[in-house]
Structures are given as C-alpha cells and as structure tokens.
Amino acid sequence: MSTIMNTYARFPLTLVRGKGCRVWDDQGRVYLDFIAGIAVNSLGHAHPAMNKALAAQAAEMLHCSNLFHIPKQQQLADRLADLSGLNATFFCNSGAEANEAGIKLVRKHFHDQGSKRRTVISATQSFHGRLLSTLTATGQDKVKIGFDPLPAGFAHVPLNDIEALKLAINDQTAAVLLEPLQGEGGVNIADASYLQAVRQLCDEHGILLMLDEVQTGIGRCGSMFAFELAGIRPDILTLAKGLGGGVPIGALLASDQVAAAFGPGTHGSTFGGNPLSCAAALTVLAEIESENLLANVKQRGEQLRQGLRELASRYDVIKDVRGQGLLNGVELHIEAAPLMLAAREKGLLILMAGPNVLRFLPPLNVSAEEVDEALATVGAVLGGVTG
Ligand SMILES: *Cc1c(COP(=O)(O)O)cnc(C)c1O
C-alpha cells in the first residue's frame, strides 16, 4: 500500500457522507459538523441547489482553458465586483494561491510605477497559506522551520498595535496584509478602529491595503466580507475557502487601477475559475441571498456566543469567548485538544485554533436547534472535564 505524505495529524475518523450540517462516518455514526471542511462547506453538505448546479455544469462542460472566454467566470467576477466594490478579479484554486497572486500584484504595481517599494507587512499570529511567499507572510514561526531560504520583502507587526505599524512603515513598504479576524492564529479580531487607522495610514503613505478574507469572507462573519464591519474597503482582497462551498476556487480582487499591473503573461492558472468551480461559487452567492443567510449567520452567531458566555459563567476553565458571525473561538485556561476529542465522542465536530482555543465554524445555514444541540454538547464536555 502506498502512503499519503504525512503532512496532517488526522483525526481517527473517516467521513463518507453528509447532509446539511450533519456528516456520517464509515461506521454509520452521525456527527454535527461545526468544522464544515474548515469554513468551506458554506451551504452544508449535499445542498440540493449545489447538486443541481454541479450536475448541470458537468453535463455541459467541466473545464475550459483560460485561453478562451468563460461566461460563468465573467458572471462570477461581476457578482464579486458588485458585492465588494473591487472591479477586477483573478481566479485561482486556493487561499494560498490567491495570496501569492496578491503579493505578486503588489510588487508589480510598484515596479510599474518605478518605485522601489516591495515589502509586505503582515501581523504576528497571522496565517496566509503554505506557499513559500505566503508562509513567509504568515506570522507564525512553526510554518517556516526547515524551508529556508525564504523570499525577501516581508515584515511583521503585532495585530491591533497601530504605533508598531507606524514604526514599521518605511520607504520600502508596499502593502499591509491583514486578516480582519485571524482564524488559524487563535480567532483574534482586528478591531474596527485599528482597521480604520490602518486604512488611513496606507492612504497617507501611498501604500496598498490587502485583506486576506480566505476564511472570513463570503458571509462567514455576518456580512459578505468582514471588512464591511469596519466600514473600510481594501485595495486588494483574497477569497477562497467558503467561496466554492466545497469545490476548490480562490479569487484575488483589486481595484481597476491596481489590477492594471497584471497584463498577459504576468500571472496565470490552468484550473483557476474553470466552469465547474464558477458554477459552484455562483450557487453559493445565490443561496446566501435567496436564503437570507447573512441574517442567519448574525443570529446564529449571537446565539452561539451567548450560549458559550453562559457556559463561561459556569465553568472557569473558559478564559474568553470571541468571534464574529459564525467564526467563533473559546479560549481556555487549559489545553483545548482533550475537549475537542470529548466533543467528537459526543457527536460534535469542532476545531482548534492554536493549543488553547476551540473554534466553531458551522455551515452558514445552521439552524437554531443545531446551535442549541452543539451548546448542550459543549456544556456536557465541560461538565465532564471539571466535574
Ligand atoms: C486557510 C487559509 C489560507 C490558506 O488557504 P489554502 O486554500 O489552504 O491555501 C490563507 N489565509 C487564511 C486566512 C486562511 O484561513
């Protein structure tokens, strides 16, 4: 038997089927899915509209090279432009690829202006992906060890510290790259006032603001994009995870003026934005609208955080409850792994975000009953740990 390279610490569980917010393993056990493929299955599993759209697209055409015009790609770009206010899109296949494309666009933008600005400043504890450029931008040493030499042109500052950013900006600085809410790095919220100040600082210095909304975007935080919550707009935006609802697709968005730096031959992707992935993403966006999912995300998020805060008042192992929409974390005074495991044994799939934080990422169409069920399970787990 061959091996699949050992890059994941996999759970001892084989999921074979899903419906809505539930998944079944190969032993026939059912679980409530508050991982959703790490914020990917926006519409849950086996959504009828998604099944229909994918079957129809498969019957028509799965793939067509980007050497040809692709109508669904144009439709999707139009939708994303309407929603984001950023008029130009490049399609790729993943979050890391979207960020790599964004970093290339930043560099080319300043190159074309005859400027020597090249450095991208990102935040400590951030996560931007596993490519050489994006792991260098990532503000966590653990993803970098063993992969030197790393590319030049990256710097890091602590999140929510505007003075540190002011000190870090110099005549080499090209862009500030941030997650509006750090997902992998511990569910750390970038304050609205901080994001507003960063936007202003970028404008004052003539540098670009690039937001990585690979995890926060497409409704996850209760608005289509998390930047809306701070009342700002980035120059460059990256999307992936929830965009295709489970079909791989990533997107880089930018203003026309910034996007002008990409001409034929400057960047590309064989699969990026193929008809199948665009049909999936169009379905996700259509269902978010027709099912009024942004309202559901806000309400279920409030319900989940309120329930978790009630648990925090009963169990003092909980240090903090925080999040936006349906991207939420519970920081513990103890290790999170045993609680994640105990929840799984009781039929609830949740994730971690660092060693002490439990992370909750249900599908955007999760019901009030399902949130209550998850809260009851977490309560039982906490009772077991502390009682
Ligand atoms: C998951 C994630 C990435 C990487 O996405 P991949 O599709 O795994 O390459 C980048 N940025 C953020 C914020 C993420 O959460």
Does residue 183 line the site of ligand 1, with CB under 6 A? yes
Q: How far is the CA of 267 from the centre of ligand 1 (A)?
A: 20
Which entry of 90, 110, 212, 235 is annotated as an active-site residue? 212
Does residue 211 line the site of ligand 1, with CB under 6 A? no
C-alpha to C-alpha distance for 150 and 147, rounded to whole angstroms? 7
Strands 173-178 and 188-189: unpaired
Residue 51 contacts by C-beta under 8 Å, 6 or more apart in sequence? Answer: none
Is 241 one of the annotated active-site residues of the chain?
yes
Is 298 one of the annotated active-site residues of the chain?
no
The residue whose CB lies within 8 Å of the most ligand 1 atoms, and thus the one to mutate among 214, 220, 271, is: 214
Q: Length of the chain, please?
A: 387
Does residue 101 line the site of ligand 1, with CB under 6 A? no
Q: How far is the CA of 38 from the centre of ligand 1 (A)?
A: 9
Amino acid, res. 26:
D
Q: What is the DSSP letter of 215?
A: T
Are 155 and 322 contacting, i.e. CB atoms less than 8 angstroms apart?
Answer: no
Q: Pick the atom of ligand 1 nearest to 94's CA.
A: 7
Are 91 and 269 contacting, i.e. CB atoms less than 8 angstroms apart?
Answer: yes
Q: List the beta strands (DSSP E) in 44-158.
A: 88-92, 119-123, 154-157
Domains and CATH numbers, the chain: 15-33+292-386 (3.90.1150.10), 49-290 (3.40.640.10)
Are 307 and 373 contacting, i.e. CB atoms less than 8 angstroms apart?
Answer: no
Low-confidence ranges of the chain (pLDDT < 70): 387
Q: How far is the CA of 69 from the centre of ligand 1 (A)?
A: 28
pLDDT at 387: 58
Nearest 5°: phi and psi at 94?
Answer: -160, 170
Does residue 213 line the site of ligand 1, with CB under 6 A? no
Is 227 one of the annotated active-site residues of the chain?
no
C-alpha to C-alpha distance for 278 and 285, rounded to whole angstroms? 11
Which entry of 91, 227, 241, 360 is annotated as an active-site residue? 241
C-alpha to C-alpha distance for 346 and 300, rounded to whole angstroms? 21
Q: How far is the CA of 366 from the centre of ligand 1 (A)?
A: 22
C-alpha to C-alpha distance for 222 and 233, rounded to whole angstroms? 16
Q: How distant is the alpha carbon of residue 44 from its chain centre?
A: 16
Which entry of 127, 154, 225, 262 is annotated as an active-site residue? 127
Does residue 95 line the site of ligand 1, with CB under 6 A? yes
Does residue 220 line the site of ligand 1, with CB under 6 A? no
Locate tokens 């759209």: which residue?
53
The pTM for the full model equals 0.98
Q: Pick the atom of ligand 1 nearest to 183's CA.
A: 15
Residue nearest atom 11 of ligand 1, based on CA coordinates: 128
Nearest 5°: phi and psi at 222?
Answer: 100, -10
pLDDT at 385: 84
C-alpha to C-alpha distance for 110 and 172, rounded to whole angstroms? 10
C-alpha to C-alpha distance for 340 and 235, rounded to whole angstroms? 38
Q: What share of the chain is helix, strand, coil (3-state, %, to 5)?
A: 40, 20, 40
Does residue 274 line the site of ligand 1, with CB under 6 A? no
CA-atom Rg of the chain in angstroms: 21
The two tokens of residue 171 are 């005549």
